[in-house]
Amino acid sequence: MTSQSQPSSTSSSFSMDDFAKALDQQDFQFSKGQIVRGKVFQYESDGAYVDIGGKSAAFIPLTEVGLHSVSDLSTVLPLQEEQEFLIIREQNADGQVTLSRRQLQIKQLWQQLGEMQEDGKSLEVRVKGVNKGGVTVDVQGLRGFIPRSHLLERENLENLVGQNLNASLLEVNRDNNKLVLSQRLATRSQAMTQFEPGQVVTGKISAIKPFGVFVELDGINGLLHIKQISQNYVESLPSLFQTGQEISAVVVDVDESQSRISLSTRVLENYPGEMLEKRDEVMASVEARANRARKKLLE
């Protein structure tokens, strides 16, 4: 078997000059919209230089450091601390790209707000101005809008400027830069947290519908469905209830996302039809009856 010749040490040598040339020829693929990691290594009056592993240092302008104005770069961009940046301008003739933390934060904030809307969460916003339709607000650095119909105070809107309001998200549309909120919805959602299954509540009947009656509970409407009134069939709701009448019931379900509370009086009955025959007696001993009902509901 013939042995193969080995390459000479001269042909396999790789000098520092060769390494420098190879590095110089390396194609660093940095493009606009790309998220990169890097470390700030030098401050300037108008921004900072960032090492992102390219042939040339990247640059982040002072205006792109964050959502809010920054006077001391070291507070948000400490030297040699690795952070994420968004490339907002591709390489120039010197191979330098322009970075932004502000636009990356905006992108992440829109995503967070979308998730908050899906989860029905509220947040605190600051009123910045007034227009015909309502008020403009600062939402963690983004501009939002609360329509007049979704404010608790609908008349003297100028008095709201500078105030912090708790609001829920109605529309989150990054493509159209549209951020619409509701103070009323947030207030309703907050009020919902005071209710839980098995709880006895008392309120006044606000409306009678074919499918049941609505009961006003501290600004929140609870629904006593016709099938939850009695274990027996209910023929006529108007013959049993009147608008403005006080009634007690047990909370059987709380749906915060729909701002809906389901009530029941049938769980208070000692026998089927007792609510129809002896409603006043049932109402007079609600608490004692509810203790029994609560055990069944929470089983």
pLDDT of residue 92: 86
More confident residue, 71 or 297: 71
Q: Residue 8: which pLDDT band, with cuts at 50, 70 and 90?
A: very low
Between CA 282 and CA 289 the distance in angstroms is 8
* Domain 32-100 CATH class label: mainly beta
Residues 135-145: what's their mean pLDDT?
A: 94
Q: 32-100 and 120-189: same fold?
A: yes
Chain mean pLDDT for the chain: 86
pLDDT of residue 186: 82
pLDDT tens digits, 152-186: 888 889 999 999 999 999 999 999 999 999 998 88
pLDDT tens digits, 246-278: 999 999 888 876 677 999 999 999 999 999 999
Q: pTM of the full predicted structure?
A: 0.59
CATH superfamily of 193-297: Nucleic acid-binding proteins (2.40.50.140)
Residue 23 reports pLDDT greater than 60: no
Domain ranges in the chain? Answer: 32-100, 120-189, 193-297
Give percent of the chain with pLDDT exceeding 70.
Answer: 88
Name residues whose C-beta falls within 8 Å of residue 270's C-beta, 6 or more positions apart in sequence: 289
**Sole residue written with tokens 């908050």:** 116
Between CA 66 and CA 100 the distance in angstroms is 8
pLDDT of residue 155: 86
User: What fold does the segment set 120-189 form as a domain?
Assistant: OB fold (Dihydrolipoamide Acetyltransferase, E2P) (2.40.50)
Name residues whose C-beta falls within 8 Å of residue 150's C-beta, 6 or more positions apart in sequence: 134, 170, 181, 182, 183, 184, 185
